Amino acid sequence: MMARPASVARASWVIWTLVVVATAVTVLAVVRDDDLVAAWAGGQGRSVDDTRVPPSFTPVVVVLYVVISVLLLVLLAFLRGGHNWARHCIAAGAALAAFSVLSGLRTDPPVEFAVAAIVIVVLAAILLVLLYLPTTNAYVGKIARPSRAS
């Protein structure tokens, strides 16, 4: 069995950091839900006789957090086991997360969310680099194609 390279260990730390940042953003989104709704509405005021109920981001954010975090942590276990497909799935998830948070910036969210979005994009970029370093390639390649002596 090949020893796990430092790039995989670092990728693990980046994934855990992403989960921690996502936890903070989720809590922040629940607490600042009204501010997010106001930013999403574009600052348009509501008249007194408006009977529409404003949307809430809380259920969406909580479900998204649970699904993405659990998925990343399960895929991390497979990556640490040397499964190449898990590496590609994590990379796709990181790219999708970066794209999603960048698209959310167009609504001009509160500053805390903009800072968190930048942190998430940077972490996703670091993760993508770590996932495709030569040492990671060799690790998942060796596990995927064991030698004939095994």
**Is it the case that residue 145 has pLDDT exceeding 90?**
no
Residue 68 domain-assigned? yes
Dist. CA 35–CA 61, nearest whole Å? 14
What pLDDT is attached to residue 141?
Answer: 80
What pLDDT is attached to residue 47?
Answer: 60
Q: How far is CA 14 from CA 18, 108, 147, 150, in A?
A: 6, 27, 30, 32
Which residues span the domain enclosing 17?
6-39+56-141
User: Which pTM does this prediction carry?
Assistant: 0.83
CB atoms within 10 A of CB 105: 13
pLDDT tens, position by position, 69-95: 999 999 999 999 999 999 999 999 999
**Is it the case that residue 113 has pLDDT exceeding 60?**
yes
Dist. CA 111–CA 21, nearest whole Å? 15
CB atoms within 10 A of CB 136: 23
Which has the higher per-residue pLDDT, 16 or 68?
A: 16
Count: domains in the chain: 1
Residue 17 domain-assigned? yes
Dist. CA 15–CA 9, nearest whole Å? 10
What pLDDT is attached to residue 38?
Answer: 73
**Is it the case that residue 3 has pLDDT exceeding 70?**
yes
**Is it the case that residue 150 has pLDDT exceeding 60?**
no
Dist. CA 70–CA 82, nearest whole Å? 19
Residue 31 domain-assigned? yes
Q: How many residues does the chain have?
A: 150
Residue 44 domain-assigned? no
What pLDDT is attached to residue 36?
Answer: 77
Residue 60 domain-assigned? yes
pLDDT tens, position by position, 8-57: 999 999 999 999 999 999 999 889 888 777 777 665 556 666 666 677 88
